[in-house]
Amino acid sequence: MNLQTDYLGLKLEHPIVASASPLSRELDGIRRLEDAGAAAVVMPSVYQEEIEAEDAAYLALVEKGSWTQPEAAEGYFPEMTAFRVGGLQARLETLRRAAEACAMPIVASLNGSTPEGWTGFARDLEQAGAAAIEVNLYRVPTDPRESGAEVEQRWVETVKTVCAAVSIPVSVKLGPWLSSPSHHAMQLIGAGARGLVLFNRFYEPDIDLASLKPKPSLELSTPYEIRQALLWIAMLAGRVKASLVATSGVATADEVVKYLLAGADVVMTASSLLRHGPHHVAVLREGLEQWMDSRGFDDIGQLRGRLAAAYLHDREALVRAQYIHILTGYQSGR
């Protein structure tokens, strides 16, 4: 059975990729994912702001109390320059070692905060051995004076900048809250993106009524959440010259099959691997193979995009009709 797929120009054995999670943070986890059969791994995002904050905090602690007292003029910690590879260096080191140790592609994810950060960090990641860079446009626009168009234009510029800085393929992971996702997708591809990852899940804190403080509430995704990506992958499949990557909501092989039917080239999952462990990659792959076998497919190309809206005549009609169908089909209390 041929499950091979193309992802940003990289040939993958099959379409199931481990997306960023604590499992892919360290070399040990990455190797476990490869051993479990992941086609590729995305490492957790390198957040420029986080790196800067971490460096600043580290320095503040190391230097605290130094140059203050005659008996401890050099501070309270051994000269650790030789030992510390924290901050960006630590992440690059893990990437370097993972790229050396693994046959599968290792994808680096990047979230910059300044143009210099985007380009500088992207080059560092490329040099450390990343097979591709996923531009993580995770930034909640909080300034009410900035229009959606301005925000999108900034993202387009960012993608251009990163693509110009590196020679490895670049994909973009974007959020769903856009007036015209397809249009923005085209813009990003025009800016040089070789692939789109749909969609980013944003951190939406809850409120703790006891402490009256915002409460982090990031939960693992559920199959219900595949709908949004499913819709937009179906809308884009066949219309863009870029890899389409589905992420969020994969629990079983069913979701993998659905995403592929909608037109995804690659399906990513983190939640299911965190729930069940890295070996779940093999379970998903087996499930996919069994489904294909049961329907008589022997090549993934036969099912990819089979239900994509591109195959239909009127996309809007499809969506509208389904909406009306849902509304009329829903009866309160049933």
Partner 1 sequence: MADTTETMDGNTAVAHVAYRLNEVCAIFPITPSSPMAELADEWSSKGITNIFGTVPVVQEMQSEGGAAGALHGALQSGALATTFTASQGLLLMLPNMFKIAGELTPVVMHVAARSIATQALSIFGDHQDVMAVRSAGFAMLAAASVQEAHELALVAQAATLKSRVPFIHFMDGFRTSHEVNSLALLPDDAIRAMIDDDLVRAHRDRALSPAHPVVRGTAHNPDTFFQARETANPYYAATPGIVQDAMDKLATLCGRSYQLFRYDGHPEAERVIISMGSGAEVARETALWMTARGEKVGALQVLLYRPFSAEHFLAALPATVKSIAVLDRCKESGGMGEPLYQDVIATLVAAVGQGDRAAMPRVIGGRYGLSSKEFHPGMVKAVFEEIAKAKPKNGFTIGINDDVSGTSLDFDRDFDIEPEGTTRAVFYGLGADGTVGANKNSVKILAEAPGHYAQGYFVYDSHKSGAETISHLRFGTSPIRAPYLIRHADFVACHKFDFLRRLDVLGTAREGATFLLNAPQGPDKVWDALPRPIQKRILDRKLKFFVIDATKVAQELGLGPRVNTILQTCFFAISGVLPPDEAIDAIKHAIEKAYGRKGGSMVEKNFAAVDAAVAHLHEVTVPRELTGAEVPPLVPADAPEFVRKVTAMMMAGRGDEIPVSAMPIDGSFPPGTTAYEKRNIAAEVPRWDADLCIQCGQCSIVCPHSVIRAKYYPEEALAEAPAGFPSAEVNARGFPGSRFTLQIHVEDCTGCGICVENCPALSPTEPGHRAIDMVDKQTLIEKEKRNLAFFETLPLPDRSRVNFANVRGAQFLEPLFEFSGACAGCGETPYVKLISQLFGDRLQIANATGCSSIYGGNLPAHPWKIGASGRGPTWSNSLFEDNAEFGLGYRLAVDQLTAMARQLLAKVAPQVGEDLAKAILDARQVAESEFVAQRMRVMALAAKLEGRTDDDAVNLLTLADFLVRRSVWIVGGDGWAYDIGYGGLDHVLAQDRNVNVLVLDTEVYSNTGGQASKATPLGASAKFAAAGKRVPRKDLAMQAIAYGYVYVAQIAMGANAEQTLVALREAEAYPGPSLVLAYSHCIAHGFDLRQGMKQQALATASGYWPLFRYDPSLRNSGANPFRLDSTRPRVKLEDFAYNELRYSVLTQGDREAAAQMMRQAQAAVDERYRTYEDLAARDGSRFLPNWESA
Q: Which residues bind partner 1 (CB under 8 A)?
A: 26, 48, 51-52, 55-56, 58-90, 116, 211-213
Pick between residue 1 and residue 85 the one whose CB is nearest to partner 1: 85
Pick between residue 82 and residue 327 the one whose CB is nearest to partner 1: 82
* Lookup result for tokens 């969020």: 248
SS3 of 27, please? helix
Name the minimum Å distance from CB 213 to partner 1. 6
* Lookup result for tokens 């199931």: 16
Name the minimum Å distance from CB 146 to partner 1. 22
Name the minimum Å distance from CB 51 to partner 1. 6
Q: Pairing mode, if any, of strands 16-18 and 266-269?
A: parallel
Please tell me the distance from the alpha carbon of residue 256 to that of residue 18, in angstroms, as a whole number: 13
Please tell me the distance from the alpha carbon of residue 109 to that of residue 189, in angstroms, as a whole number: 17
Q: 94 Cβ partners below 8 Å, 6+ apart?
A: 25, 26, 27, 30, 43
Name the minimum Å distance from CB 31 to partner 1. 13
Q: Is-contact 143 172, C-beta < 8 A?
A: no
Pick between residue 86 and residue 175 the one whose CB is nearest to partner 1: 86
Pick between residue 83 and residue 330 the one whose CB is nearest to partner 1: 83
Q: What are phi and psi of 40, to 5 degrees?
A: -160, 170
The DSSP 8-state label assigned to residue 225 in this structure reads G
Pick between residue 208 and residue 286 the one whose CB is nearest to partner 1: 208
Name the minimum Å distance from CB 216 to partner 1. 16
Paired strand residues for 206? 215
Please tell me the distance from the alpha carbon of residue 118 to that of residue 29, in angstroms, as a whole number: 26
Name the minimum Å distance from CB 71 to partner 1. 4
Pick between residue 73 and residue 321 the one whose CB is nearest to partner 1: 73
